[in-house]
Structure 1
């Protein structure tokens, strides 16, 4: 039995004890164990801050981007291995594994390319200098400088590859060492990627660290100049925010949490727009078995289209075989473990008490399994005809292949219902009326981190409701956590400190030279 070691202080260290198992969600086989018992996190963090941090900051942004390029080559060379691990540990079919593995490589490649064009050397200017005295003899210049602490990533189970590199890319490009704490259930893939990069000797020692399991002092060992980026449930985010290092000492905290995302069909009742929505809803229900923080949970359609859309979604879901991803013809795999299965089945039962079941994959899907005690849950589509009096559908997310169809009376009603999610990562809107799409964007932007507008013009080119692209902001207000990630080079702001520097134009000019600017 393999125990996944932890990489801290520039060396591999095993936690004590037997550890927690990492399982195959289809067969129940124990693939590895993880343990962080007995690790000295204070020493590990000090090493990262004192050894890796200065080594990274000696490099320019472009030089650090070159390191990201080297990491991309390592990941590409081991891509097939990562797909095999995903199948065995996450229970995903190859297309779903690609969303995670290839998405990670693409995101890292994006930041490597973007960083290679950065002219900054040691710091970044923010805007022009502003005069503070007559004749501009005294002025203020805002600058961004890399933090001299570390970045701790507490990641979710559903994206063990992408969840690592979408954060690490921006942090390492900024010159900040990282410590990754993956979710135990899918830690194997994260661990393997880190190990391959460490073995390639690309980064300074201590720049890339991983701790598996639940170490003591994971947060206690932080100091006020470190940062934490968390992905997971809103409840866990709330408990982390209450920790003294964050609540009292001011550790910068970014959260991307569960949210009740929406798809909205425009009032034009255009058949093409309807088809685009139906196709995307089915995709979001089945990719990674609905285990995506961006997945569609509520589907808003005009009252006149409710029955037709319900039938169209159901007809497509009937064609998807669910089961063991090792079997040919299976298009939808499993959840990551049995505890997630049980939580989703419990959520389905709660929704069933107050909603109509329009499609129940448990009785209508083709299920191809040799062992019934697996983490497989087929898709379920609910319907709610009285959404104004149905709080649960707007408040409870079932984190799996579950969505609810909801009718609306008019445009204002549609937007009001959508906003009842109280902060979401994404809403997608389907219409061939440009005025409606523009109105939807302006109205929903306040409560969503991303608004995805789809018409016939982009039908074949759009990147998908649930796909998170590094060029665009990822995060959302309110329930979605209030955090921000990605968005191109905007992602670097989290790993920098903004300061106002006040002095003479000559001195501020020296800062401009440090930023690689001639002005």
Structure 2
């Protein structure tokens, strides 16, 4: 019998009452562990987090809470080797892809620790965040209104996706804990092992107050039913599930604050005026291939549509396809393998189904089926080669603008002029990120602003930042992560802006003596 991963709720480790859901190695097909949350006292666990964890966190200042994050980061850093082993076994990722998740999570946690220290320094001796200057309410200046931000007196339920079990945990938990709000994390079942182990290591190290951080694995019924008016819900996943969450009574009746990061058909755009031998063209090709293959394309920020001038359609297809042909796919334990597996058989079938759908609207420019698997049985392993599609009818290919295949798949689309390119990019109906490639600073700036209203982030790559840009798909804690419309309408990270979700704003109307006490 494989290991049963316990839940940490109510300040103690608890096993579920059922048989549990198995977690598999997506390459070898072997069962690794089981998770189960049946029979848990969810009401008691949520109450413990609110009353015990929340009170303990709020009793600390921002500097002290920043210290907790720094201590947690040290615990994680000491256990990195184990996390890499878990990621290889449970997510099927090569070491470089595991680093995006594991080291990216530790980096985000450490960054918020430093931000919290700087915030505390800027506050002087105050313990309360002020929002703007005090405002006079009448002719007499004695009585004024001062807006303040105070930690929400609830719990943050964080429901994460399967693709980033490490980073997904800490990019939500870090700003919540720094704000003084306890966290209950619900990882996606398929890859819950890494999340559970990270929480276990931090809990057992005793660096956080009891109830500050909890984890519930498996699929517990009634989890959302526990949410109360001052709680918060942060979700990463499909738009369909997001719609169900928004319609839940806890959200619709209790006005539970919700942040959603959902489906996104992201794009990369090469501006006019570039030649096939230009540096901007080469940068586009390099980034498209990277985004298609990192984590086997299982990134919410991955490039799905590639827009190029009509005259460069063939050149782009050839250049991207040539680089994809060199990608080795298979068992991530083998040094020569560059791209590992999808996380599960269900995900493999979803990618195959989505690819078949896209092929009704586009032609195959590079066929992933031609990649022989290295040290992996095609009948067992959840591996699929990178596939590049293309169509010369960018306007008529509605499926390409509406369908996100969550795997190593992208489509090349030609445009007539800049206005046409921008209009095509916006057909994603709201995206997490678009990246622009070119050498004309004025044109790049104009295009970036033109796309800003429909994208959470616009990543601009010119030759001058060829060696320093952080990558189209890399979510940095200093910038917001989210997007309007189809992408969910939410915002995470963005430096200290992330704390706004976990604070409540109130106007204190009082005289000067009282305001000085805030």
**Which TM class, normalised by the smaller chain length?**
over 0.9
Report 1:332-481 matches (<5 A). Answer: 332-363=339-370, 365-372=371-378, 373-481=380-488
1:469 & 1:126 partners in 2: Cα distance?
A: 25
Residues 176, 183 of structure 2: 8 Å contact kept: yes
Corresponding residue number in structure 2 for 1:211: 216
Alignment pair present for 1:16 and 2:17: yes
Question: Per the alignment, in what secondary structure is the counterpart of residue 516 of structure 2?
Answer: helix
2:294 & 2:376 partners in 1: Cα distance?
A: 22
Select which of 317, 322, 334 maps to 1:310: 317
Corresponding residue number in structure 1 for 2:92: 91
Residues 48, 177 of structure 1: 8 Å contact kept: yes
Corresponding residue number in structure 2 for 1:231: 236
Corresponding residue number in structure 2 for 1:515: none
1:388 & 1:319 partners in 2: Cα distance?
A: 31
Please state how far the C-alpha of 1:447 moved relative to its aligned partner: 0.1
Residues 361, 400 of structure 2: 8 Å contact kept: no
1:62 & 1:383 partners in 2: Cα distance?
A: 52
Report 1:161-180 matches (<5 A). Answer: 161-180=166-185
Please state how far the C-alpha of 1:463 moved relative to its aligned partner: 0.2
1:8 & 1:464 partners in 2: Cα distance?
A: 37
2:362 & 2:267 partners in 1: Cα distance?
A: 17
Report 1:154-193 matches (<5 A). Answer: 154-193=159-198
What is the number of residues matched between the two proteins? 510
Q: Deviations over 1:153-182 (max 9, x none)?
A: 000000000000011000000011000000
TM-score normalised to the size of structure 1? 0.97
1:53 & 1:190 partners in 2: Cα distance?
A: 21
Corresponding residue number in structure 1 for 2:283: 276
1:26 & 1:344 partners in 2: Cα distance?
A: 16
1:415 & 1:195 partners in 2: Cα distance?
A: 46
Select which of 100, 112, 132 maps to 2:137: 132
Please state how far the C-alpha of 1:354 moved relative to its aligned partner: 1.9
Residues 27, 376 of structure 2: 8 Å contact kept: no
Select which of 293, 315, 330 maps to 2:337: 330
Corresponding residue number in structure 1 for 2:109: 108
Please state how far the C-alpha of 1:93 moved relative to its aligned partner: 0.2
Question: Per the alignment, in what secondary structure is the counterpart of residue 136 of structure 1?
Answer: coil
Select which of 306, 309, 312 maps to 1:299: 306
1:387 & 1:247 partners in 2: Cα distance?
A: 39
Q: Deviations over 1:26-45 (max 9, x none)?
A: 11111000000001111101
Unaligned runs of 5+ in 1: 512-519
Residues 42, 217 of structure 1: 8 Å contact kept: no
Please state how far the C-alpha of 1:507 moved relative to its aligned partner: 1.2
2:505 & 2:424 partners in 1: Cα distance?
A: 38
